[in-house]
Amino acid sequence: DAKTTQPNSMESNEEEPVHLPCNHSTISGTDYIHWYRQLPSQGPEYVIHGLTSNVNNRMASLAIAEDRKSSTLILHRATLRDAAVYYCILRDLSGANNLFFGTGTRLTVIP
């Protein structure tokens, strides 16, 4: 799987939007962009994924650059419960289904 680059940490004020960036300059045409997050003392949790178009679900939005070399996870109103490590992972449709986690971005939400 191709590599992603994320900032080590970010801070946000509670109830403000958060934009978590991810660079994936070596992405291939068949790579899906997945986001997982890991809350303290819990297992990773699926957040959202997309291929080319922007995606929305109840948890977040995913904005994908036109050239697909970067993407941004958007939390519309950060809550204290959103404090977690967020992982951006590229997955193509070939091969096994395992996930390869990088170091992710640790999001701190300030009350």
53 binds another protein per the rule CB under 8 A? no
Q: Which is nearer to another protein, 32 or 74 (CB)?
A: 32
* Stretch of 11-19, 55-63, 69-77, 94-102 lying at the interface with another protein (CB under 8 A): 94-102
Whose tokens are 């701190």? That residue is 108
Other Cβ atoms within 10 Å of 34 Cβ, number: 18
Structure tokens at 101: 């986690």
**Cα–Cα dist 102/3, whole Å:** 8
User: Could you say which of 40, 58, 96, 111 contacts another protein (CB under 8 A)?
Assistant: 96
Q: In angstroms, give the least distance from the CB of 39 to another protein.
A: 10
